[in-house]
Amino acid sequence: MKAMVFPGQGSQFPGMAQDLYDSHDSARLRFEEAADLLGFDISKVMFTGSAEDLKQTNVTQPAIFLHAVILAEGLRNTGAFDADFVAGHSLGEFSALVAAGALNFADGLKLVAQRADAMQAACKAVPSTMAAILGLEDAVVEEICAAQDGIVVPANYNCPGQLVISGETGAVEQACEALKEAGARRALMLPVGGAFHSPLMEPARAVLEQAIEKTPLKAPQCPIVQNVTGRAESDPAVIRTQLVAQLTAPVRWTQTMETLLASGVTSITEIGPGKVLQGLFKKVDRSLETASAVWTQ
Protein backbone atom coordinates (compact mmCIF):
# COMPACT_ATOMS: atom_id res chain seq x y z
CA MET A 1 0.00 0.00 0.00
CA LYS A 2 1.24 3.45 -0.92
CA ALA A 3 0.57 6.92 0.46
CA MET A 4 1.42 10.23 -1.12
CA VAL A 5 1.89 13.06 1.37
CA PHE A 6 2.06 16.82 0.89
CA PRO A 7 4.10 19.26 3.01
CA GLY A 8 2.94 22.43 4.71
CA GLN A 9 4.38 25.80 5.60
CA GLY A 10 8.08 25.70 6.43
CA SER A 11 9.15 23.53 3.49
CA GLN A 12 9.70 26.45 1.10
CA PHE A 13 13.15 27.42 -0.19
CA PRO A 14 14.53 29.97 -2.69
CA GLY A 15 14.47 28.58 -6.22
CA MET A 16 11.70 26.09 -5.44
CA ALA A 17 10.01 24.52 -8.50
CA GLN A 18 12.21 26.30 -11.02
CA ASP A 19 13.35 22.89 -12.31
CA LEU A 20 9.73 22.04 -13.08
CA TYR A 21 9.17 25.38 -14.81
CA ASP A 22 12.30 25.01 -16.92
CA SER A 23 11.59 21.40 -17.95
CA HIS A 24 7.85 21.15 -18.59
CA ASP A 25 5.45 23.21 -20.71
CA SER A 26 2.48 22.20 -18.55
CA ALA A 27 4.25 23.53 -15.45
CA ARG A 28 4.81 26.89 -17.15
CA LEU A 29 1.12 27.07 -18.02
CA ARG A 30 0.19 26.45 -14.38
CA PHE A 31 2.51 29.26 -13.27
CA GLU A 32 0.87 31.60 -15.77
CA GLU A 33 -2.58 30.58 -14.54
CA ALA A 34 -1.46 31.09 -10.94
CA ALA A 35 -0.19 34.61 -11.72
CA ASP A 36 -3.58 35.51 -13.19
CA LEU A 37 -5.49 34.07 -10.22
CA LEU A 38 -3.23 35.57 -7.54
CA GLY A 39 -2.69 38.94 -9.17
CA PHE A 40 1.11 38.80 -8.96
CA ASP A 41 3.94 36.83 -10.56
CA ILE A 42 4.57 34.23 -7.90
CA SER A 43 7.25 32.52 -10.02
CA LYS A 44 9.48 35.58 -9.63
CA VAL A 45 9.31 35.33 -5.83
CA MET A 46 9.79 31.55 -5.85
CA PHE A 47 12.74 31.59 -8.25
CA THR A 48 14.60 34.78 -7.29
CA GLY A 49 13.17 35.88 -3.95
CA SER A 50 15.06 35.53 -0.68
CA ALA A 51 14.20 33.15 2.13
CA GLU A 52 12.70 36.15 3.93
CA ASP A 53 10.49 36.96 0.92
CA LEU A 54 9.21 33.40 0.91
CA LYS A 55 8.31 33.51 4.63
CA GLN A 56 5.39 35.86 4.01
CA THR A 57 2.30 33.71 4.59
CA ASN A 58 0.47 35.08 1.54
CA VAL A 59 3.45 33.95 -0.60
CA THR A 60 4.50 30.80 1.25
CA GLN A 61 1.20 28.98 1.11
CA PRO A 62 0.41 29.47 -2.60
CA ALA A 63 4.07 28.70 -3.46
CA ILE A 64 4.11 25.36 -1.64
CA PHE A 65 0.67 24.46 -3.00
CA LEU A 66 1.74 25.31 -6.56
CA HIS A 67 4.98 23.32 -6.32
CA ALA A 68 3.21 20.25 -4.93
CA VAL A 69 0.24 20.27 -7.30
CA ILE A 70 2.35 20.77 -10.44
CA LEU A 71 4.53 17.85 -9.37
CA ALA A 72 1.48 15.67 -8.63
CA GLU A 73 -0.03 16.49 -12.03
CA GLY A 74 3.25 15.56 -13.70
CA LEU A 75 3.22 12.21 -11.93
CA ARG A 76 -0.39 11.60 -12.94
CA ASN A 77 0.30 12.47 -16.57
CA THR A 78 3.12 9.92 -16.69
CA GLY A 79 1.14 7.22 -14.87
CA ALA A 80 3.27 7.46 -11.72
CA PHE A 81 0.53 8.70 -9.37
CA ASP A 82 -0.74 5.50 -7.76
CA ALA A 83 -1.69 6.41 -4.19
CA ASP A 84 -3.93 4.25 -2.02
CA PHE A 85 -4.15 7.17 0.42
CA VAL A 86 -3.21 10.85 0.43
CA ALA A 87 -2.56 13.18 3.35
CA GLY A 88 -1.23 16.69 3.78
CA HIS A 89 0.29 18.54 6.72
CA SER A 90 -1.85 21.64 7.39
CA LEU A 91 -1.72 23.60 4.10
CA GLY A 92 -0.72 20.32 2.41
CA GLU A 93 -4.27 19.04 2.87
CA PHE A 94 -5.37 21.37 0.04
CA SER A 95 -2.62 20.06 -2.24
CA ALA A 96 -3.65 16.50 -1.40
CA LEU A 97 -7.29 17.18 -2.27
CA VAL A 98 -6.36 18.64 -5.67
CA ALA A 99 -4.00 15.73 -6.38
CA ALA A 100 -6.78 13.26 -5.49
CA GLY A 101 -9.31 14.97 -7.77
CA ALA A 102 -11.58 16.37 -5.05
CA LEU A 103 -10.76 20.02 -5.88
CA ASN A 104 -9.78 21.52 -9.22
CA PHE A 105 -6.56 23.50 -9.51
CA ALA A 106 -8.09 26.98 -9.76
CA ASP A 107 -10.49 26.47 -6.84
CA GLY A 108 -7.72 24.98 -4.72
CA LEU A 109 -5.36 27.88 -5.38
CA LYS A 110 -8.09 30.46 -4.68
CA LEU A 111 -8.86 28.80 -1.34
CA VAL A 112 -5.19 28.64 -0.41
CA ALA A 113 -4.76 32.34 -1.23
CA GLN A 114 -7.84 33.28 0.79
CA ARG A 115 -6.67 31.09 3.66
CA ALA A 116 -3.22 32.70 3.64
CA ASP A 117 -4.60 36.24 3.56
CA ALA A 118 -7.06 35.51 6.37
CA MET A 119 -4.37 33.87 8.51
CA GLN A 120 -2.01 36.80 7.95
CA ALA A 121 -4.73 39.24 9.02
CA ALA A 122 -5.49 37.18 12.14
CA CYS A 123 -1.79 37.14 13.04
CA LYS A 124 -1.75 40.96 13.17
CA ALA A 125 -4.67 41.15 15.61
CA VAL A 126 -2.90 39.70 18.68
CA PRO A 127 0.85 39.28 19.44
CA SER A 128 1.24 35.55 19.04
CA THR A 129 3.75 32.86 18.15
CA MET A 130 4.58 29.14 18.22
CA ALA A 131 7.25 26.95 19.85
CA ALA A 132 8.57 23.45 19.22
CA ILE A 133 8.68 21.18 22.27
CA LEU A 134 10.97 18.16 22.07
CA GLY A 135 11.34 15.18 24.38
CA LEU A 136 8.09 15.19 26.38
CA GLU A 137 4.98 13.03 26.26
CA ASP A 138 2.01 14.71 24.57
CA ALA A 139 -0.08 14.46 27.74
CA VAL A 140 2.52 16.41 29.74
CA VAL A 141 2.60 19.20 27.16
CA GLU A 142 -1.19 19.33 27.05
CA GLU A 143 -1.42 19.55 30.85
CA ILE A 144 1.17 22.33 31.15
CA CYS A 145 -0.41 24.36 28.35
CA ALA A 146 -3.81 24.10 30.05
CA ALA A 147 -2.33 25.42 33.30
CA GLN A 148 -1.02 28.68 31.80
CA ASP A 149 -2.68 32.08 31.94
CA GLY A 150 -3.63 33.23 28.47
CA ILE A 151 -4.09 31.22 25.28
CA VAL A 152 -1.55 28.49 24.55
CA VAL A 153 -2.49 25.13 23.04
CA PRO A 154 -0.94 22.12 21.29
CA ALA A 155 -0.95 22.92 17.56
CA ASN A 156 1.07 20.29 15.66
CA TYR A 157 1.41 16.71 16.88
CA ASN A 158 4.29 16.07 14.49
CA CYS A 159 5.61 12.75 15.83
CA PRO A 160 6.10 11.13 19.25
CA GLY A 161 8.24 13.47 21.33
CA GLN A 162 7.79 16.45 18.98
CA LEU A 163 4.85 18.77 19.54
CA VAL A 164 4.46 22.41 18.50
CA ILE A 165 2.49 24.75 20.77
CA SER A 166 0.73 27.93 19.66
CA GLY A 167 -0.86 30.99 21.27
CA GLU A 168 -0.38 34.42 22.74
CA THR A 169 3.31 35.32 22.89
CA GLY A 170 3.47 35.73 26.66
CA ALA A 171 1.58 32.51 27.31
CA VAL A 172 3.82 30.55 24.92
CA GLU A 173 6.94 31.93 26.60
CA GLN A 174 5.63 30.99 30.06
CA ALA A 175 4.69 27.52 28.84
CA CYS A 176 8.18 27.02 27.39
CA GLU A 177 9.77 27.77 30.77
CA ALA A 178 7.40 25.38 32.52
CA LEU A 179 8.02 22.69 29.92
CA LYS A 180 11.79 22.98 30.29
CA GLU A 181 11.36 22.62 34.05
CA ALA A 182 9.27 19.50 33.36
CA GLY A 183 12.14 17.95 31.42
CA ALA A 184 11.70 19.02 27.81
CA ARG A 185 14.90 18.48 25.83
CA ARG A 186 14.18 21.64 23.83
CA ALA A 187 11.55 24.35 24.01
CA LEU A 188 12.36 26.42 20.95
CA MET A 189 10.50 29.57 19.96
CA LEU A 190 9.78 29.48 16.21
CA PRO A 191 10.29 32.38 13.77
CA VAL A 192 6.62 32.60 12.75
CA GLY A 193 4.31 35.57 12.63
CA GLY A 194 1.34 34.13 14.49
CA ALA A 195 -0.43 31.34 16.32
CA PHE A 196 -1.51 28.90 13.63
CA HIS A 197 -3.91 26.09 14.61
CA SER A 198 -5.05 27.87 17.75
CA PRO A 199 -8.21 29.72 18.85
CA LEU A 200 -6.51 32.94 17.71
CA MET A 201 -7.18 31.82 14.12
CA GLU A 202 -10.96 32.04 14.63
CA PRO A 203 -11.35 35.17 12.45
CA ALA A 204 -9.53 33.36 9.63
CA ARG A 205 -11.66 30.24 10.14
CA ALA A 206 -14.85 32.28 9.72
CA VAL A 207 -13.57 33.79 6.45
CA LEU A 208 -12.41 30.43 5.10
CA GLU A 209 -15.69 28.73 6.02
CA GLN A 210 -17.62 31.05 3.72
CA ALA A 211 -15.18 30.44 0.86
CA ILE A 212 -15.15 26.65 1.29
CA GLU A 213 -18.95 26.46 1.43
CA LYS A 214 -19.09 28.05 -2.03
CA THR A 215 -16.40 25.80 -3.56
CA PRO A 216 -17.30 22.58 -5.41
CA LEU A 217 -15.82 19.53 -3.69
CA LYS A 218 -16.04 15.96 -5.01
CA ALA A 219 -15.19 12.63 -3.39
CA PRO A 220 -11.43 12.06 -3.71
CA GLN A 221 -10.19 9.23 -5.91
CA CYS A 222 -8.61 7.66 -2.83
CA PRO A 223 -9.21 8.36 0.89
CA ILE A 224 -7.56 11.38 2.49
CA VAL A 225 -6.38 11.14 6.08
CA GLN A 226 -7.34 14.50 7.54
CA ASN A 227 -5.49 16.60 10.09
CA VAL A 228 -8.37 17.26 12.45
CA THR A 229 -9.09 13.62 13.32
CA GLY A 230 -6.19 11.64 11.85
CA ARG A 231 -8.77 9.39 10.18
CA ALA A 232 -9.31 8.47 6.52
CA GLU A 233 -12.25 10.20 4.85
CA SER A 234 -13.95 10.08 1.44
CA ASP A 235 -17.25 11.86 2.15
CA PRO A 236 -17.12 15.40 0.67
CA ALA A 237 -19.38 16.79 3.43
CA VAL A 238 -17.06 15.49 6.16
CA ILE A 239 -13.96 16.64 4.29
CA ARG A 240 -15.44 20.12 3.88
CA THR A 241 -16.29 20.45 7.59
CA GLN A 242 -12.86 19.31 8.70
CA LEU A 243 -11.07 21.52 6.20
CA VAL A 244 -12.70 24.50 7.92
CA ALA A 245 -12.06 23.19 11.46
CA GLN A 246 -8.38 22.65 10.64
CA LEU A 247 -7.53 26.35 11.09
CA THR A 248 -8.27 26.40 14.81
CA ALA A 249 -7.74 22.69 15.57
CA PRO A 250 -4.38 20.95 16.02
CA VAL A 251 -2.68 19.08 13.18
CA ARG A 252 -2.77 15.46 14.33
CA TRP A 253 0.08 14.25 12.14
CA THR A 254 1.21 11.60 14.62
CA GLN A 255 -2.28 10.10 14.45
CA THR A 256 -2.30 10.49 10.65
CA MET A 257 0.90 8.45 10.37
CA GLU A 258 -0.49 5.82 12.75
CA THR A 259 -3.65 5.52 10.64
CA LEU A 260 -1.66 5.05 7.44
CA LEU A 261 0.61 2.41 8.98
CA ALA A 262 -2.36 0.57 10.51
CA SER A 263 -3.98 0.56 7.05
CA GLY A 264 -1.01 -1.36 5.64
CA VAL A 265 0.95 1.49 4.05
CA THR A 266 4.61 0.56 3.56
CA SER A 267 5.67 3.20 1.01
CA ILE A 268 5.56 6.99 1.44
CA THR A 269 6.17 9.50 -1.36
CA GLU A 270 6.46 13.16 -0.42
CA ILE A 271 5.18 15.47 -3.14
CA GLY A 272 6.41 19.03 -2.91
CA PRO A 273 9.40 20.94 -1.56
CA GLY A 274 11.61 19.44 1.14
CA LYS A 275 11.76 16.15 3.02
CA VAL A 276 10.21 17.09 6.36
CA LEU A 277 7.39 14.54 6.25
CA GLN A 278 9.70 11.69 5.26
CA GLY A 279 11.77 12.44 8.34
CA LEU A 280 8.72 12.31 10.58
CA PHE A 281 7.64 8.93 9.14
CA LYS A 282 11.14 7.54 9.69
CA LYS A 283 10.94 8.54 13.36
CA VAL A 284 7.86 6.33 13.66
CA ASP A 285 9.04 3.36 11.53
CA ARG A 286 12.53 3.23 10.06
CA SER A 287 11.59 0.27 7.85
CA LEU A 288 9.23 2.39 5.72
CA GLU A 289 10.18 3.11 2.13
CA THR A 290 10.24 6.88 1.72
CA ALA A 291 11.06 9.00 -1.30
CA SER A 292 10.66 12.45 -2.80
CA ALA A 293 8.50 12.60 -5.91
CA VAL A 294 10.44 13.12 -9.14
CA TRP A 295 8.87 14.06 -12.50
CA THR A 296 11.27 12.57 -15.00
CA GLN A 297 9.43 12.77 -18.32
pLDDT of residue 260: 97
Picking from 75, 55, 72, the residue whose alpha carbon sits closest to that of residue 6 is 72
Instruction: Tell me phi and psi for residue 92, to 5 degrees.
Output: -60, -20
All domains of the chain in start order, with CATH: 2-124+199-292 (3.40.366.10), 127-189 (3.30.70.250)
Mean pLDDT of 145-165: 96
- Give the C-alpha distances (Å, rounded to integers) separating 246 from 198, 262, 272: 9, 23, 20
Query: Tens digits of per-residue pLDDT, 222-251?
Result: 999 999 999 999 999 999 999 999 999 999
Q: Which residue among 24, 67, 89, 197 is the active-site one? A: 197
Q: Above 80 in pLDDT, residue 43?
A: yes
Residue 186, pLDDT > 80, answer yes
Q: How confident is residue 78, by pLDDT bands cut at 50, 70 and 90?
A: confident
pLDDT score of 296 = 76
The answer for residues whose C-beta is within 8 angstroms of residue 153's C-beta and 6 or more apart is 145, 165, 166, 167, 197, 198, 199, 250
Residue 194 pLDDT grade (very low, low, confident, very high; cuts 50, 70, 90): confident
Q: Is 23 considered catalytic here?
A: no
Taking the C-alpha atoms of residue 164 and residue 138, their distance in angstroms, rounded to an integer, is: 10
- Cα gap 291→297, rounded to integer Å: 18
Burial of residue 142 (number of CB atoms within 10 Å: 0-12, 13-18, 19+): middle
Confidence of residue 284 (pLDDT cuts 50, 70, 90): very high
- Cα atoms in the 13 Å half-sphere on the side-chain side of 88: 29
Nearest to 65 by CA among 29, 31, 26: 31
Q: Examine the residue annotation and report whether 24 is marked as an active-site residue of this protein.
A: no
CB 102, CB 219: distance < 8 Å: yes
CA 242 to chain CA mean position, Å: 14
Instruction: Round to whole Å and give the CA distance between 199 and 190.
Output: 18
pLDDT of residue 235: 98
Q: What is the pLDDT of residue 224?
A: 98
The end-to-end CA distance of the chain, in Å, is: 24
Pairing of strands 152-159, 128-134: unpaired
CA–CA gap between residue 253 and residue 276 (Å, rounded) = 12
What digits encode the pLDDT tens for the residues 109-150? 999 999 999 999 998 888 999 999 999 999 999 999 999 999
Q: What are the Cα distances from residue 84, in Å, to 87, 93, 136, 264, 269?
A: 11, 16, 33, 10, 11
How many CB atoms are located within 10 Å of the residue 176 CB? Answer: 21
Determine which one of 11, 90, 128, 198 is catalytic: 90
